[in-house]
Amino acid sequence: MTDIGIGIIGGGYMGKAHSVAMAAVGAVFNTALRPRLEMIAASSEESAEGYRKAFGFARATDDWRALVADDRVEAIVIATPQKFHREIAEAAFALGKPVMCEKPMGASLDDARAMTQAAKGHINMVGYNYIRTPATQYARRLLQDGAIGDVTYFKAENAEDFLADPDLPATWRTEGMANGCIGDLAPHLFNMALALMGPIDRLVAEVETVHEDRPGGKVTNDDQVQMMVRFKSGVMGHLFSSRVATGRKMGYFYEIFGTKGAIRFDQEDQNALWLYQAEGPEASRGFKKILTGPAHPDYLSFCQGPGHGTGYQDQIIIEAKDFLEAIHTGKNIWPTFEDGLSVIKVTDAALRSAESGQWQTVEE
């Protein structure tokens, strides 16, 4: 086993998740590379030192440039707001260091293009964690194996209610399109659609701000988006994302219809996948609930008991395992910055469609 110095930039929600993942991944997956929590960076010396003590890092800094340049930091996780992604990634790649960047990878299409160009020849990964649940990994395998025949329709949503209350005050989340539903929440939805169904050829989209005024200021971005899409495979679909979907907490949901069956999944019940197969007597057909267990991808390392389940933090640990494996083998593992760029191209097409009111082609 070889240790590897990890530097994490950002200590908030995702910074903590990645710190915990890097601390646990070696024990969970018996990885060849064992993370050493070398340095964490935050916006002030006080907060950085607080994160260092809480998460177990050796050192802390309020200067991300110092972290990137430090010789004992051998791989970097970017867990900052989108507007900082590009500059940090470019600096890290210039030094030849592997980078995992939280989604959606930059604050604009130009950022994503530049980051993808800078990543060429280097180990790189984008943090789309929900697609890594054992259930959804298994769903991808079922689709590849033709378990439901030829796909005829795809519908999916990523709906939450963290801004459903109109009396919640205006914050950074309500300023600028990069922080709106289509910029911050919907990329998980777009990544899911691309992972399960392949590239999108064209789409038509509407975006909407449901609560335009909040205590403390005006809302300058969108609350929800709906899209009709046509995949390059020819399959039609519908995508919906909302941050004001009252009652929905983690509504990362998809339903896929095929000529021989169907698949259904809801992240609020992330350890179950529903499968319908059109076989046997009609009277006994129906959706079968499959509880994830050791037979499903990446499950056994967490637990030997079927149905015991994995959780949100486990998704981040699976990400960490894949990132370390990519570094160890020198071969990138999906989703790379190229895949992250594909998501941003869907976002760009959706915004163009919403503005024009017309179908738009997704950039090749």
> pLDDT of 310-359, one tens digit each?
999 999 999 999 999 999 999 999 999 999 999 999 999 999 999 999 99
Is 169 in contact with 317 (CB distance < 8 Å)?
no
Is 71 in contact with 95 (CB distance < 8 Å)?
no
Every domain range in the chain assigned CATH 3.30.360.10: 131-308+343-356
Every domain range in the chain assigned CATH 3.40.50.720: 2-127
> Tell me, what's the pLDDT at 106?
93
Topology (CATH level 3) of domain 131-308+343-356 = Dihydrodipicolinate Reductase; domain 2 (3.30.360)
Q: Where are the alpha helices (DSSP H) in the chain?
A: 13-29, 45-55, 64-69, 85-94, 109-119, 134-144, 186-197, 312-329, 337-356
- Residue 133's nearest CA partner among 290, 263, 319, 305 is 319
Would the pTM count as exceeding 0.85? yes
- Residue 362's nearest CA partner among 246, 241, 193, 154 is 193
Angle at CA of residue 73, ends 48 and 81, nearest 5°: 50
Per the listing, tokens 């205590």 go with 215
Is 266 in contact with 156 (CB distance < 8 Å)?
no
Residue 74 in tokens: 């051998």
How many other C-beta atoms can be found within 10 angstroms of the C-beta atom of residue 137?
A: 18
Burial level of 168, CB count in 10 A (0-12/13-18/19+)?
middle
Helices 109-119, 337-356: axis angle to 10 degrees equals: 160
> Tell me, what's the pLDDT at 243?
98
CATH architecture of 2-127: 3-Layer(aba) Sandwich (3.40)
Amino acid letter at 304?
Answer: Q
Beta bridge partners of 224: 208, 242
Low-confidence ranges of the chain (pLDDT < 50): none
**3-state DSSP helix/strand/coil % of the chain, to nearest 5:** 40, 25, 35
CA pair distance 334, 268, nearest whole angstrom: 24
- Residue 316's nearest CA partner among 112, 125, 72 is 125
> Tell me, what's the pLDDT at 364?
83
> Tell me, what's the pLDDT at 247?
98
Residue 183 in tokens: 């910029």
Average pLDDT, the chain: 97
